Amino acid sequence: MITHGNEIKLFAGNSNLPLAKAIAAKLNTTLGDAEVGKFSDGEISVHIGETVRGRDLFIIQSTSSPVNDNLMELLILIDAAKRASAGRITAVMPYFGYARQDRKARSRDPITAKLVADLLTSAGADRILTMDLHAAQIQGFFNIPVDNLLGGPTLYNYFSSRISGDDFIVVSPDVGSVNRARKVAERLNCPMAIIDKRRPKANVMEVMNIIGNVKGKQCLLVDDMIDTGGTIVQGAQALVDAGATHIYACCTHAVLSGPAIERIEKSPIEELVMLDTVQLPEEKKLSKIKILTTADIFAAAIENVYLDKPMSKIYD
């Protein structure tokens, strides 16, 4: 058990208990005693069953589906800890929901990511620990420290053993993912291609053309999030049509809502590698899906926050 002044305490909501327990195990501790349920009318019920006065608290909760329930669980857990005189409260959010609403894309649109940032701060969070924010500028929506961890190293370390010769290429499924794909390509020391697309409406993608030569290549599609699967699946088909030989895909956050599983199962993607920031139900675990854990990274990050150490070395 790491020790430093006030004792560390880990608590979790119901969004991703397997990951929370794995993080606790890496830190040689267990999750704190907290009852997180619902009243008969659906309101969230929270009770912390042990003293947290003056303690360094880390509340682990992804705001994945059901998004609003999981967000409310997190807010109420923070409020309960604050009112119980916790010393410092860090919201550990492996997946930060509402991150796609980060700007006014149209007139009279909300900026919900900023609203959620304000809610978390008002509830009493002193720090946010998350991974691969959909938009990096969300860090600036907070008036408290935000540590945005990187899922890329875990993913490219997995694929590094696949590379042999010069027939491997990293592909960005859209222009918005270019920086992310470029970092992976640099780490894997291989070229990069970009799929240029036009999106007529939300969750509908039309592939326009591929920038780069993918003929005869093994392709790795890199994205931060897969939701309905439209972007990644149509991108994979476009690569096959352009002469690619093998298609792999990877992402940090596997939201996989709506028709995503059916689309992926029927797609030319041979293997989809994802991190466990969002808990994947058993019925969605296809044979072509590989899940890598982020417990090591989050445990190291929590320890660094607790001991006031820099984050940069946890990827070494």
Tell me whether residue 266 is one of the annotated catalytic residues.
Answer: no
Per annotation, catalytic residue among 9, 114, 197, 217: 197
- Helix H, strand E, coil C: the string for the chain is CCCCCCCEEEEECCCCHHHHHHHHHHCCCCCCCEEEEECCCCCEEEEECCCCECCEEEEECCCCCCHHHHHHHHHHHHHHHHHCCECEEEEEECCCCCCCCCCCCCCCCCCHHHHHHHHHHHHCCCEEEEECCCCHHHHHHCCCCEEEECCHHHHHHHHHHHCCCCCEEEEECCHHHHHHHHHHHHHHCCCEEEEEEEEEECCEEEEEEEECCCCCCEEEEEEEEECCCHHHHHHHHHHHHCCCCEEEEEEEEECCCCCHHHHHHHCCCCEEEEECCCCCCHHHCCCCEEEECCHHHHHHHHHHHHCCCCCHHHHC
Catalytic positions, please? 197
